[in-house]
Amino acid sequence: MSETRLSVIVPVYNGTGVLEKSLSALRDSDLPRKYWELIVVDDASTDDTGTLAAQYADRVVRLDGLPHGPSYARNRAAEVAKGDVAVFVDADVVVHKSTLRQFHEVFDQQPETAAVFGSYDDDPPASGLISRYRNLYHHYVHHQNPGPAATFWAGCGAVRLPVFREVGMYNEWHFSRPQVEDIELGQRLNDRGFRIMLMPEIQATHLKHWTLGNMIATDLNDRGVPWMRLLIRRGTATGEKSLNLKTQEKLKTFLVGLASLTVLLAAWQRSLMWLAVSSMLLGLVVVANMHLYRFFYRHGGWRFALATVLLNLLYYVINTVAAAWGWVLHHTLGDPQLPVAVEAMAEIGVDSWPPVPKKLRGKDAPQQADVVGAEE
C-alpha cells in the first residue's frame, strides 16, 4: 500500500444509542490502523456522546452551545484532519469490515478520482415496514447507476481533502441541519470538473429506525423543499442536468401529481371519469416501477411488495408538494439565511471557536461557503 492516509470523520449529536456500534465497526476495519485516523465531532450533545467517542477516536472535536448541524461539524473536523482523504461516515452507519480498505484502494489506484461514495447494504437491522422500505429503497437507487456521478453522498462517502477545501467544503451557511448539503457539495465538485464515482460495492449498514411521520417530514422539509430551492437557484429545475434527478423520475412525479389533482376533481364533480383517469395515471407509474417492486418482493415477499407500492406513490406525492412549496419559498423568501446575529458576526469577520460562517459575495455566494477563525 502507498502512504495515502484517510481521515474518517463522524459528526454526531446525542448518539449514545448508535455511536458504539458505528465506532466499533470502524475499529474492526481490515485497513491497518496506520493508514487512517478517526475524528468524531460532538455537536453540542447533552448526553455522554463525547465520553463514548473518546474511547475510540484519535480526536474528539467538541462544539458548544446549540447543535450546529452536520455541515458545520464535518467542516470543523476537516480543518484539523491530517489525512489525504476525508471519509465521511454518519453516526448511525455501520461500515463493513472492508469499507475503509476499499476507499483506500480507490484513491490509491485512481489518482484522477476526487470523490467516491458507496451504498447502504440490503440487510437493514431496523424492523417494521417503513424502516425496511426506506433503507432498502436507498440501497436499490444506488445500485442502479454505478460509475461516474454528478452528486455526492455523505452517509458513507469520501473526498480528497485538498479538493474538498478547494471547493469551499460543505455549505454550512445554507444547511444548518441535515438536508441536501452533500448533494450541493457534489454539484460544486462536478461543476469544477472533479471526478465523482458511485461504487455501490462499498457498503455499510444503516441503523436508523423510520416512522411514517419522520419519513414524510424528512422527504418534505429536509430533502424535497431544499432540493427544489437548490435547483431553482442553479437554474436547472426543469433541465436535463438537475443534479441526479432523472427525466424519468421527474415524469413519474408529474404523473402522480396530476393523478392527485384528478382525484380532487373527481370528488368535487362526483365524477367516475376523473377517478378512472387518476387510476390510469397511477397505473402507468406502477408499471414503470415494476423492477423496483420485484426487488422489494425478493427482500420481503408479496405483502411487503404491495405495501411498498403505496409508500412509493406517497413518495411521489410528497415530491410534488415539495416542488410546489420550494418554488413558493424561493420566490417569496429567497435563499435560506442564518439568524441575524450570526450573519452580523460573519459580516465583521469575528474570530472565534467554533468559527462563524463567512458568507461569500458575488455570483458564487449561493454555491460556496468558507469559514473564518478556524483555529481550535
Averaged pLDDT for residues 273-282:
87
Do the strands 59-63 and 147-149 form a parallel or antiparallel pair, or are they unpaired?
unpaired
Residue 101: the pLDDT is 97
Residue 346: the pLDDT is 66
Residue 293: the pLDDT is 96
Averaged pLDDT for residues 244-258:
80
Residue 323: the pLDDT is 86
- pLDDT at 266 exceeding the cut of 60: yes
List of residues 6+ apart from 289 with CB closer than 8 A: 252, 309, 312
Averaged pLDDT for residues 135-147:
93
User: What rounded mean pLDDT belongs to the chain?
Assistant: 86
Q: Which residue has the higher pLDDT, 348 or 112?
A: 112
Name which of 84-88, 109-113, 140-144, 170-174 the model is least confident about: 170-174
Name the burial class of residue 87, with classes exposed (0-12), middle (13-18) and buried (19+) by CB atoms within 10 angstroms of its CB: buried
Would you place residue 181 in the very low, low, confident or very high pLDDT band (cuts 50, 70, 90)? very high
Residue 179: the pLDDT is 86
- pLDDT at 235 exceeding the cut of 80: no
Residue 239: the pLDDT is 46
Report CA torsion sign: 82, 87, 88, 91: negative
- The answer to whether 142 touches 118, Cβ cutoff 8 Å, is yes
pLDDT in tens, 300-330: 999 999 999 999 999 999 988 988 888 888 7
Closest-CA residue to 158 (of 313, 292, 31): 31
pLDDT in tens, 65-114: 889 999 999 999 999 999 999 999 999 999 999 999 999 999 999 999 99
Q: How many CB atoms lie within 10 A of CB 213?
A: 9
- pLDDT at 363 exceeding the cut of 50: no
How far, in Å, CA of 211 to CA of 95, rounded?
23
Averaged pLDDT for residues 356-365:
45
Q: Which residue has the higher pLDDT, 226 or 288?
A: 288
Q: Which residue has the higher pLDDT, 20 or 264?
A: 20
Would you place residue 162 in the very low, low, confident or very high pLDDT band (cuts 50, 70, 90)? very high
